[in-house]
Amino acid sequence: MHKNNRQNRRRVRRGHQQNPWFRQHVSDERCNTVAQQSPQDSGRADDDEAPSTSSGTAGSSSAPDLPGYYFDPEKKRYFRLLPGHNNCNPLTKESIRHKEMESKRLQLLEEEDKQKKADTNSDRLFTVNDVKVGGSKYGIISLRGLKTPSLKVHMHENLYFTNRKVNSVCWASLNHLDSHILLCLMGIAETPGCATLLPASLFVSSHPGERPGMLCSFRIPGAWSCAWSLNIQANNCFSTGLSRRVLVTNVVTGHRQSFGTSSDVLAQQFALMAPLLFNGCRSGEIFAIDLRCRNQGKGWKATRLFHDSAVTSVQILQEEQNLMASDMAGTIKLWDLRTTKCIRQYEGHVNEYAYLPLHVHEEEGIVVAVGQDCYTRIWSFHDACLLRTIPSPHPTSKSDIPSVAFSSRLGGFRGAPGLLMAVQQDLYCFSYN
């Protein structure tokens, strides 16, 4: 992460406007993960999605299908296929699959580069960067003056580092809106895992006269997920999803409520109006906890929904009558909480086992998700139509799945909608005009 402002060169190609989504690029040699977006200023390659590698589908040629051979439409000749890896003959099914995926990615990138570029303003993002020596480095970045022909990225100097991996992170509003960041840290050796409230003022003060806050930690080992409550009936509280348990903790009093579950809790979100905490489990179950009930009291499960695979994200919509969830089978469903029925499904998301977030933006009417194939897909919220498929600017890699953050007003009240994408050491901006 840079300690000073840096003005970076940006690749710009002019062309005709074909789609309202445009791309800008900025390279930052140490900022590689967009983790969470602050609402006060606006949070393995998959084989099934790849083109077929059988000899009959490697191109649009009408050449007959010969078992054990691959027809190259460019060279217009057959090549013998060997199963698996082979150093002597690199022409294997895996190499052909990789070549076709890379060709598809480059073709889509070329289409993206033909789009006209647009200007944006600024935003604030909390970042979690994995480091090679183990652990994570945190920071808050400000994106200011994202205008052609250059982009500026400012990383605030006061960085916080820990040698423990982060399982989950969200913004927390203890003193004021987004005053803290809530982190769930994994344990190492004899040190147990914990939930840590990190003051945002450690990085940058967004309020005049604000003093740096105190770091506060709670011994909560093995937390898979976390959520901060803005509900008045759970004021100053956060929740952590553990193995077969949900723990609700009051930061001020230290009081805790424990709710036993039948599976690991991988995703959580508090409702704002109703006194409910929604949880997504590894078993595929989604259930709501009535916060008015005591520990293990009867009737605390207010709602129950079911997916066929582990639930990785739950999003409560504005009216709190619907909920959207995604799972490790690549299924994205919109649920009616009153009838507990699925009313819409969003096709095309790719996931087999990864813990991938889901971004829902009702104001813009879009749903955004990044798949294990490293493609970012944007759907229409209202009719589930796939609007846009954005390839990763980098070659597909199991360890380099892009992280994205969307803002309806990138840069504040007068800002424009935009999507930020972090891949490896680069940060890209897709503006909506």
Q: In terms of DSSP bridges, do strands 386-390 and 376-380 run parallel, antiparallel, or are they unpaired?
A: antiparallel
* Residue-wise pLDDT tens digits, 173-199: 988 888 888 989 888 777 888 898 988
pLDDT at 387 over 60: yes
Please report which confidence band the pLDDT of residue 118 belongs to, taking 50, 70 and 90 as the band edges: very low
Q: Is the pTM of this model over 0.85?
A: no
For residue 2, what pLDDT band results from cuts at 50, 70 and 90? Answer: very low
What is the Cα–Cα distance from 8 to 149, expressed in whole angstroms? 9
> Which of left, alpha, beta for 380 (phi over 0: left; psi -120 to 50: alpha)?
beta
| DSSP summary character for residue 107 | H
Compute the distance between CA of residue 2 and CA of residue 37 in angstroms, rounded to an integer: 19
Q: Which of 83-87, 105-109, 113-117, 299-303: highest mean pLDDT?
A: 299-303
Cα angle 383, 384, 386 (rounded to 5 degrees) comes to 120
Q: Which residue has the higher pLDDT, 107 or 370?
A: 370
Cβ proximity of 267 and 314 under 8 Å = yes
Give dist(CA 351, CA 63) in Å, integer.
33
Q: Which pLDDT does position 160 carry in this prediction?
A: 65
Q: Each residue of 93-131: b (16+ CB within 10 Å) or e?
A: bebbbbebbeebbeeebeebbebbbbebbbbbbbbbbee
Q: CA–CA separation, 423 vs 370, rounded Å?
A: 12
pLDDT class for 381, splitting at 50, 70, 90?
A: very high
The top-scoring range by mean pLDDT among 123-137, 151-165, 374-388 is: 374-388
Please give the pLDDT value at position 207. 55
**Rounded Cα–Cα distance for residues 300 and 292 (Å):** 8
103 or 214, which is more confident? 103
Mean pLDDT (the chain) is 75
